[in-house]
Amino acid sequence: MRFKEAYIPINKDKNMYLLLMAKHIKLAQEIIYKQLTKQDL
């Protein structure tokens, strides 16, 4: 029981971390894509 309770917040933090990382990766990809598709520069 004790271990289960200990693991729940860790998994929650891990999921939040992964979500944040995914968001940052997506933003970085969008920025790179915009820079690559800018033909006027």
Q: What is the pLDDT of residues 3-40, one digit of tens each?
A: 566 555 667 788 888 888 899 999 999 988 888 888 65
Rounded-to-integer distance, Cα 12 and Cα 19, Å? 11
Write the single-letter amino acid at 31: I
CB atoms within 10 A of CB 35: 9
Rounded-to-integer distance, Cα 8 and Cα 26, Å? 27
pLDDT at 4: 60
pLDDT at 26: 93
> Any idea which residue has 């970085």 for tokens?
28
pLDDT at 15: 82
Boundaries of every domain in the chain: 1-40
pLDDT at 7: 58
- Asked if pLDDT for residue 2 goes beyond 80, the answer is no
